[in-house]
Chains A and B, each alone.
Chain A
Amino acid sequence: MLLSIVLAPFVAALLVPWLRRVAGSWIGLFLTIIPASLFTVLLSILPRVNSGTTISAAWEWVSSLGINFALRLDSWSLLFALLVTGIGTLVFLYSHFYLGAKEDLTKYYLYILAFMGSMLGVVLAGNLIVLYLFWEFTSFTSFLLIGFWSNRERSRYGAQKALLITVFGGFVMLAGFALLYIVTGSFDLVEIMAKRELVLGSPLFPYILILVLIGAFTKSAQVPFHIWLPNAMEAPTPISAFLHSATMVKAGLYLVGRLFPLFSGTALWFGLVSGVGVATLITGSLLAVKQDDLKALLAYSTISQLGLIMTLFGLGTPLATSAAVFHLFNHAAFKGALFMAVGIIDHETGTRDINLLGGLGKRMPITAAVTGIAAFAMAGLPPFSGFVSKELFYEATLHPEFSGWLAGLLPWLSVGASIFTFVYSMLLFFYVFLGQPRGETPKLPHEAPILMLIGPVVLAGITIFAGLKPDFFGQSLVNPAVASIIGRPVSEHYQLWHGVTTPLVMSLATIGVGVVLYKLVEPLRRLFKGIKTKFNPNHIYDWGLDLLTNQSAKLTNWYMTGLLRDYVVYIIGAFVILVGGTYLLKVSGIQGWHFAPINLYELLFALLFAAAVIMILRASSRVIGLIALGIVGFFMASFWVILRAPDLALTQLIVETISLILFLLAFAHLPSYFKDTEPRNKKIVDAITSASFGILAAGLALTAHGTRLFESISAYYIENSLKLGGGRNIVNVILVDFRGLDTMGEITVLSIAAMGVYALVKLRRRTR
């Protein structure tokens, strides 16, 4: 069953081009069936999984390396799978209205289905390699979706940035997995989990942890890798809602939760995960306040909220983990709603610039209500879901497992960051929907079609419900997921009202200071915009990318001269140095040269052969050189005849003939004869290269003939070519039977080369 859940979106993706023809612009509505039915299936197994059953399945793959195609579903995976398919359903529905019929819907739905399949693969993987593969595939599909409007320069920039950063992280993570394999001898998640002591005791532990966490941090946009997420907002808004807030960016959190039993409780884990998490929380919430673009604001807010959840995972206590999972769920709901609402604003007004919007509440009442509910939840106001999880967050920061400056500062930093979260949340609602319009919007604002509002309204409904009845989701989704993460049952109860406690005081302080700061929001935004810092990861990224491309271009231009004769020197030079070096170093074990008696006519042939070679060197035009080259070739063939190798002689003769014709045809395209225009030092290099190559080749041939390091295989061929290959021509039986695979490779290369030549010749003509 697990396999079909993962494969269903991929299969559907393959059917998209056909469905596009059949269903036309209604394709989005048809495809909503896929996530919806997957969601229903997953929901139906929720009770079974929550009772502690882990569903798993495995197929053999590369058993010798411990890689099985293993899938595993526990409550933590199931929570994610439900988010992916549930929000996926709403996003598909929403996309139908968001994207016009003129857009490339085939491409869009193909990519998004492929993403959904790979995201399900990530959360259902039971083997680290399987997880890694799907992980990279989510990066790849995310790249395609960010660059959906590929004619826009910003889209391409954002797509490339996201791909480079997340794939870099994924690759680093793979190195971490490899180290983990070295320590535990397994890629299987269950087997690795059982070896916690071994991993923690290993000297490789810090490296494993750092490498794996870099993967999680890049994916979940943690500081300093967060810079890709704001640029990823170039994607269509439903994509931002789906990938870049609700699901894919949470893959890092999923991984951190998955490996929680293995690493948590160590000081390094706390320092790294909570430290980076809280840094991200603060950076994101501060930067969000100054944004003009609503989507950019949401992007920084997502970064900040991801940092919050990361901080909680780092704390390692059961309470913190409950808070993390609950907030993860809440964030998916309210942020999904906010993105869809912003998409509606963008769609119906034609702009996302906060300085142009204002007073939209009257014209778009439902969108306003949705935004209000979601923004209040994000700010942590009662009675919405965010309040419950934020209280839990405060509570968890007050009871860390570790002491030290970071643990001591955490509650203060949390409140500080939450104040700015409050400010930008209010900005999102009051600034945009209340008051008077600040400028002309490109379109006259009006409410979105009712079906487009389904998605945001459902998510806003969940936000209210999770606030009023937190224990419903707490018991059905959060506690089982936490139990799978920490590996033992939890009995946490979630309520809106706890009585007067320290967290409540912290919440009140947040709201109080937040209200004051919101009154000063205009000067605050100006102040933040005025701050220019030299340390900006974006600059480092751009500078690094620039350096890389420029320096590689310089390096390449230096040795890629465009002259074939230079390339020949490189190839032959490398051969001489590598093979000749080996020859000189390993000279022991090589025996003397054995010469067969040389006949007079053989000597005569050799002399004529040499004369032809000298003629090539002295040729005054290409044609003469070519004819001399032909003479060399025909002498070669006559040597084969003398040495009784008819196959080789035949081949040599025909090859000579055909290549002569090829040369003649190519003449028209070659520049005029340049022999004497070469500078002197180049000629010396050429002479040394060719002389050393000639000596080496002759020496090798003679040595190879005289040296027998192994039993020659020719006896085997002579004996078996008729018996096993059914042929008497040994050369041919070797080619088509004994070494058939080699021939297969050779003819493939030959075919590709022919296509290359054809393309080059044709392309040249077209550009001329």
Chain B
Amino acid sequence: MKSLILETISRLVVFVILIFSIYLLLQGHNAPGGGFIAGLMTSATFVLQYVAFGIKHQRSILPLNFKMLISLGLLLSLGTGLVPMLFGKPFLTSAFGNLNLPVLGEFEMATAVLFDLGVYLIVVGVTMTIITALGEN
């Protein structure tokens, strides 16, 4: 079922939501947000696309294997946990410090954010795997 209103609006808001979700992910350490919420919000973006344009269209603009996303996320989270062990620290020890990026300036960065990024990828992967599996049927 095509709906012009839904299609138009979703075209407009998709990027806003997407950017907001990434904003939530990155600021999560210091303000409301975090990998879980951001992951869900990103999934919501995809779902909106899916509802508005159908699954085929969504596949063609976003050819992502969501199952791979799950393993990628797990690998990233586990990896950030394992790296400190190389330095003789316990599993999952986090480190943080100031990062100086050109243009954007200096800001604080913690390795826990990488862990959170893993969580984010898993949440997106899990939600979308389930939704597309159910939707394809």
Contacts and interface: CB of A to CB of B under 8 A. Distances in A.
A765 B133 CA distance: 10
Interface residues of B, number: 49
A646 B30 CA distance: 13
Contacts of B49: none
B32 A647 contact: yes
Given A747-B77, A754-B130, A650 B112 contact: no
Interface in A731-768: 731-733, 735-737, 740-741, 743-744, 747-748, 750-751, 753-755, 757-758, 761-762, 764-765
Contacts, number: 143
B135 A665 contact: yes
B41 interface: yes
B122 A726 contact: no
A727 B112 contact: yes
A654 B92 CA distance: 28
Interface stretch (A242-250, A529-537, A655-663): A655-663
B64 interface: no
Question: For B37, B41, B43, B73, which residue has the most chain A Cβ atoms within 10 angstroms?
Answer: B37
A728 interface: yes
A729 interface: yes
Given A727-B30, A736-B94, A737-B94, A747 B74 contact: yes
Contacts of B35: 735-736
Contact of A729 (B29, B123, B125): B29
A725 interface: yes
B12 interface: no
B103 interface: no
A754 B137 contact: no
A761 B133 contact: yes
A666 B134 contact: yes
A603 interface: no
Interface residues of A, number: 42
A740 B33 CA distance: 16
B70 interface: yes
Contacts of A755: 67, 70, 129
Contact of A751 (B29, B37, B74): B74
A741 B116 contact: no
A754 B126 contact: yes
Interface string A661-687: 110011011000000000000000000
A758 B94 contact: no
Closest 5 pairs (CB-CB, A-B): A726-B96, A727-B29, A754-B126, A646-B32, A654-B40
Interface of B: 24, 28-37, 40-41, 43-44, 47, 51, 67, 70-71, 73-74, 77-78, 81, 91-92, 94, 96, 108, 110, 112-113, 115-116, 118-119, 122-123, 125-127, 129-131, 133-135, 137
Given A736-B29, A754-B126, 12 more contacts: A647-B32, A647-B34, A647-B37, A655-B40, A726-B29, A726-B110, A733-B29, A740-B112, A744-B81, A750-B122, A754-B129, A757-B129
